[in-house]
Chains A and B, each alone.
Chain A
Amino acid sequence: MDQLTKLFYSLGLSPYYGIFVAAFLLAVIILAFALLYEGVATYVERKVAGDIQSRIGPNRVGPYGTLQWLADGVKLFLKEDFIPAQADKLIFRIAPYFVFVGSFLPFAALPLWDRFVPVPMNIGLLYIIAVTAMVTPGIVLAGWGSNNKWALLGGMRSAAQLISYEVPNAVALLIPVLIAGTLNLDEIVRAQGGGGGILRWFIFHDPFSFMAFFIFFTAGLAECNRTPFDLPEAESELVAGYSVEYSAIRYAFFYMGEYGDMFIISAMASAAFLGGWQLPLIDPLVKIGWLKAVLQLGIFLTKTLLLVLVMMWIRWTFPRLRVDQLMELSWKRLLPIALFLLMGAALWTVVFHGKGIYDLIVG
């Protein structure tokens, strides 16, 4: 955004307007990307489900059904959008905004390539944790506003689940922060480069950060309500959970929010643990500036989308947890383990002056 503002300034636009134009341009580009991703992800999800369950999956619209997501999108626009008579109208209308905005705002802080973050900020990681939490009130409002028993149960369960898993999630994310000594996601990714290739990624920094990645990913699955933690929308017991009374495009926003959250969790995992846009040999081999940026963007997206694919794979492989197992997993297992790992990583950082295993061995 700062680069774009400077570009507009050199083209003769005053910085006061330029900053707004640059922000708006980036917001629209990223919104378009997010929608494209969310659409394609629904198609891929159904294809993956089909493959895993020995079915075909969508195959009618376009070659191999690749346009299915567009047809679904158009269909959602053409459906009747009604509000139940007993619903609390204001709350019912507000809820999709919370869910969608909460899943879209984190895109502003993703480190896309070297020294480029859509909105430059030095607290990127804290910002992402803060704004993703906006999804929780949206889901509670949806559950309460619908005035439906299924929706209320789903909303309450979801709130309990999201807040329970928020804690191990955030604690696990602290480990990359204390290794890098900064909350700036761009600097965190840059700290994972240099000699040593993938051994410089924070996941291989020390044994504690290696385990922290899995804690983070597990808690992340629960954060975006994915199986095995999809109790809020457990079809067999709660119909569709908090979104049961929603129809047409309002309903779509809950699903866009879910897929957006999946992308954000995967992007955080890849930026904080898997080296973001870093890949060995890119730095010394590619010298052209723009080519490097494109490659880095591609690497970052590849890592992120692979993690999204892993989430889909998990969804169609594991059965759902029971609600009591869910709560106890978070508070009695993940949280103590995460706190232990945090202190272990802190001790490692203090004793070895922040050096990773690779530095210690090579010297």
Chain B
Amino acid sequence: MAYLAVGVAVFAITAIGFVLISIIINHLLAPRRVTPLKVEPYECGEKVVGDARIRFDMRFYIIALAFIIFEAEVVFFFPWAVVLKRLRYLAFFDMLVFLIILVVGLYYIWKRGDLKWVKTPVR
């Protein structure tokens, strides 16, 4: 347990330190010539039109919701997969019932058209 906590912490700090040091070295070595045109957002050389803080399509959020549901399900699968060989049929059928409920959910959002990326306009 101590190995895990210390090891991961030290690895993370080493990586963060490496990024920080590289950026500092970059700042020391590189020239700094800031011109107003250079710090403009890049839009293929055209004049910048408006702000990038635009409204975004709903479908991204629906995908995110579906992801959260399925990722939570995968988290439940992990302990089950570890003990399956010992619990055998009991665990298998338990998980089958759980999975069927989820597949019904997947079927529902599939039929609702939430998984379709190109939406045909509703008439």
Q: Which residues of B contact A323 (CB under 8 A)?
A: 117
Whether A339 touches B103, Cβ cut-off 8 Å, given contacts A108-B8, A350-B92, is: yes
Closest to B110 in A: A332
Give the CA-CA distance A300 to B23 in the complex, in Å. Answer: 33
Known: A80-B33, A245-B42, A328-B117. 6 other contacts (CB 8 A): A77-B25, A81-B26, A100-B19, A148-B41, A163-B67, A182-B82
Q: Which residues of A contact B12 (CB under 8 A)?
A: 101, 105
Number of A-B residue pairs with CB-CB distance less than 8 Å in the complex they form? 214
Q: Which residues of A contact B106 (CB under 8 A)?
A: 331, 335-336
Interface string of A106-143 (1 = CB under 8 A from B): 01100000000011110000110000000000000000
Q: Which residues of A contact B116 (CB under 8 A)?
A: 324, 328
Whether A27 touches B115, Cβ cut-off 8 Å, given contacts A147-B53, A160-B60, A170-B71, is: no
Q: Is the interface of B mostly helix, strand, loop or mixed?
A: helix
> Footprint of B on A, CB under 8 Å?
1-2, 5, 19-20, 23-24, 26-28, 30-31, 76-87, 96-97, 100-101, 104-105, 107-108, 118-121, 126-127, 146-152, 156, 159-160, 163-164, 166-167, 170-171, 174, 177-178, 181-183, 239, 244-245, 248-250, 253, 323-324, 326-328, 331-332, 335-336, 339, 342-343, 346-347, 349-350, 353-354
Are B15 and A166 neighbours in the complex by a CB distance under 8 Å? no
Q: Which residues of B contact A182 (CB under 8 A)?
A: 82
Give the CA-CA distance A27 to B88 in the complex, in Å. Answer: 40
Give the CA-CA distance A307 to B27 in the complex, in Å. Answer: 36
Give the residue of B3, B27, B78 whose beta carbon is less than 8 angstroms from that of A120.
Answer: B3
Give the residue of B41, B89, B95 whose beta carbon is less than 8 angstroms from that of A147.
Answer: B41
Whether A183 touches B3, Cβ cut-off 8 Å, given contacts A31-B14, A160-B63, is: no
Give the CA-CA distance A245 to B7 in the complex, in Å. Answer: 34
Q: Is the interface of A mostly helix, strand, loop or mixed?
A: helix
Give the CA-CA distance A174 to B79 in the complex, in Å. Answer: 10
Kindly identify, within residues 32 to 58 of chain B, every residue whose CB is under 8 Å from any CB belonging to chain A. 32-34, 36, 38-44, 51-54, 56
A322 CB to closest chain B CB, in angstroms? 9
> Footprint of A on B, CB under 8 Å?
2-4, 6-8, 10-12, 14-16, 18-19, 22-23, 25-27, 29-34, 36, 38-44, 51-54, 56, 60, 63-64, 66-67, 70-71, 74, 77-78, 80-86, 88-89, 92, 95-96, 99, 103, 106, 110, 115-118
Closest to A99 in B: B19
Give the CA-CA distance A33 to B102 in the complex, in Å. Answer: 42
Give the residue of B19, B42, B53, B66 whose beta carbon is less than 8 angstroms from that of A150.
Answer: B42
Are A119 and B7 neighbours in the complex by a CB distance under 8 Å? yes
Whether A164 touches B40, Cβ cut-off 8 Å, given contacts A1-B3, A31-B15, A119-B11, is: no
A240 CB to closest chain B CB, in angstroms? 9
Are A253 and B6 neighbours in the complex by a CB distance under 8 Å? no
Are A178 and B117 neighbours in the complex by a CB distance under 8 Å? no
Are A23 and B52 neighbours in the complex by a CB distance under 8 Å? no
Smallest CB-CB A-B distances: 6 pairs: A119-B7, A324-B117, A23-B10, A178-B81, A27-B14, A163-B67
Q: Which residues of A contact B71 (CB under 8 A)?
A: 163, 166-167, 170
Are A121 and B4 neighbours in the complex by a CB distance under 8 Å? yes
Are B39 and A83 neighbours in the complex by a CB distance under 8 Å? yes
Give the CA-CA distance A181 to B85 in the complex, in Å. Answer: 7
Are A239 and B85 neighbours in the complex by a CB distance under 8 Å? no
Are A346 and B95 neighbours in the complex by a CB distance under 8 Å? yes
Q: Which residues of A contact B115 (CB under 8 A)?
A: 327-328, 331-332
Q: Which residues of A contact B83 (CB under 8 A)?
A: 181
Closest to B32 in A: A80
Closest to B66 in A: A331
Are A82 and B15 neighbours in the complex by a CB distance under 8 Å? no
Closest to A101 in B: B15
Q: Which residues of B contact A108 (CB under 8 A)?
A: 7-8, 11
A/B interface sample: 6 pairs, CB < 8 A: A96-B19, A156-B56, A178-B84, A245-B42, A249-B26, A324-B116
Whether A20 touches B10, Cβ cut-off 8 Å, given contacts A147-B52, A148-B52, A149-B43, is: yes
